[in-house]
Amino acid sequence: MAAQETTRVISVERLSQGPGDRSLAEWWEAERSKQTPEAKAIEEAAHLLRASEIPVAFPTETVYGLGADATRSAAVQGIYKAKQRPSDNPLIIHVDSVDMLDRLLNPTLQSSPSVAKMPRIGIPQIYKPLIERFWPGPLTIILPNPSGSELAAEVTSNLTTFGVRMPSSPLARLLIHVTDRPLAAPSANASTKPSPTTAQHVYHDLHGRIDLILDGGPSGLGVESTVVDGLCEPPAVLRPGGVGIEALRECAGWEDVVVAYHDSTLDVKEIPRAPGMKYRHYSPKARVVLFEAGSNLDGVVAHVRKDLQDTAIGAHTIGIVRTRNWAQGLNLAPAAEMARTLTPVSAAIDNLVSFPIPVLETGSPSSRTKMAYDHHLGSDAVSIAHGLFATLRALDELDVDVIYVEGVSDRDGDLAAAVMNRLRKAAGMEWKV
């Protein structure tokens, strides 16, 4: 089944407010009985997820996901096709409840009442404290894939385990509830590109490849879920994200949890234990140069000026992404000139401004003007994480040649470590000056 030429975006943002004190079932019954526009959109999306081979994009609290019925191979293959994602990169399963996960772990008991007396496969005890504290939320756990598993083989990429989480987004859980299927749902971007935090980002990447995007407004967190493996000793973090390692260490059995991910990519022959471990990710078209936290500002400015002057680098337009210490525009132009020429350039990204820089290129007798775009993400980790992907995308749309990013210290908290993990995977190089 081919995707339609026009990808539709339908707003369901009102449902992002959640059900209040009602259960998912009660909430859905109220919406369905009123036949609200949002209910009709959810019903259509659920029908497509059950019957179509083309995935549906939907919002979660982390980033937008590209969902497909995790029990149907053709549907899951649709994710890889739409994203142009390598087939050896496993997918995370999303469930609406522990009961749905229990059904996944006990497929034989669901299909054959005659074996109902067989012992049930439970969630390993090591995960119970995490589920109690962090579910629903941005935490993915690794579980053994049971014999007779209902999951499509494409979900696990030939691993004997699968990753699963319960999103805290009530809208995401409602969609899973109405579909009544576990949903495989990686980020809804073209493979290797920055993850999408708005429906417009999804449309930009996947227009014409999918039929439907549910627009629930901007994602709140801005980075993906943390992935943990409690099946090994000691337990390990496979991908940093919305739940930090220090918070994990406060849970029984996780006091000695270790970091088992690399900020670089894995060797081509290695099989990733979780998404985001093997391939370059989160990358805009522009070359990304990441400066470590604490880099000398004069050294940063000298590096950028050298790039601008070097005709071999080809930096005609640049992006500057600031966090805590860099001055606006890196003082690349005189203060009076910047004050006169600073121009807002994006309605979608607050405080994204442009200004011209006079540059004397190597071997050239006269200076020429090059354009710089400057954006301050904020100084706290929450603001930096929330705006990172959107800023990289905005600079890409402005066709900058190079993006210079002020990094933050990995020791400034768990969310900062997740941000630096994403930036290192996006960056072509990292500098300390």
pLDDT at position 275, please? 59
Same domain, 202 and 302: no
Residues 184, 92 contacting (CB under 8 angstroms): yes
β-strand 212-215 against 226-229: which pairing, if any? unpaired
Q: For residue 139, what is the enclosing H or E element?
A: strand 139-144
Domain extent at residue 293: 287-431
Is 1 domain-assigned?
Answer: no
Same domain, 27 and 155: yes
CA-to-CA distance for 142 and 140, rounded, in angstroms? Answer: 7
Is 423 domain-assigned?
Answer: yes
Same domain, 339 and 222: no
pLDDT of 267 strictly over 50: no
Same domain, 212 and 309: no
3-state secondary structure 205-252: HHECCECEEEECCCCCCCCCCEEEECCCCCCEEEECCCCCHHHHHCCC
CA-to-CA distance for 222 and 287, rounded, in angstroms? Answer: 21
CB half-sphere exposure, 77, CA atoms < 13 A: 8
Q: pLDDT, tens digit, for every residue of 219-265?
A: 989 899 999 999 999 999 999 999 999 999 999 999 999 999 876 55
3-state secondary structure 59-112: CCCCCCEEEEECCCHHHHHHHHHHHCCCCCCCCEEECCCHHHHHHHHCHHHHHC
Residues 382, 267 contacting (CB under 8 angstroms): no
CA-to-CA distance for 130 and 251, rounded, in angstroms? Answer: 7
Give the number of residues written for the chain. 433
Write out the two tokens for 232. Answer: 């090994």
Closest CA to 326 of 301, 308, 363: 301
Q: pLDDT, tens digit, for every residue of 9-25?
A: 999 999 999 999 999 99
At 399, the amino acid letter reads D
Is 3 domain-assigned?
Answer: no
3-state SS class at 375? strand
Taking residues 382-409, report their average pLDDT.
Answer: 92
Is 273 domain-assigned?
Answer: no
CA-to-CA distance for 191 and 82, rounded, in angstroms? Answer: 9
Is 43 domain-assigned?
Answer: yes
CATH of the domain at 224: 3.90.870.10
CATH of the domain at 341: 3.40.50.11030
Write out the two tokens for 141. Answer: 């756990």
Residues 325, 412 contacting (CB under 8 angstroms): no
Is 264 domain-assigned?
Answer: no
pLDDT at position 113, please? 58
Residue with tokens 């809208």: 171
Same domain, 32 and 157: yes
Is 270 domain-assigned?
Answer: no
Q: pLDDT, tens digit, for every residue of 82-109?
A: 998 777 789 999 999 999 999 999 997 7
Write the burial class of residue 266 (CB in 10 Å: 0-12 exposed, 13-18 middle, 19+ buried): middle
Same domain, 230 and 346: no
User: pTM, whole model, 2 decimals?
Assistant: 0.87
As for how many domains the chain has, the answer is 2
3-state SS class at 350? coil
Same domain, 253 and 293: no
CA-to-CA distance for 23 and 124, rounded, in angstroms? Answer: 26
Same domain, 315 and 245: no
Residues 178, 152 contacting (CB under 8 angstroms): no
pLDDT at position 392, please? 92
pLDDT of 266 strictly over 50: no
Is 362 domain-assigned?
Answer: yes
Write out the two tokens for 1. Answer: 């089944």
- Asked if the bond preceding 136 is cis, omega within 30° of 0, the reply is yes
Same domain, 232 and 311: no
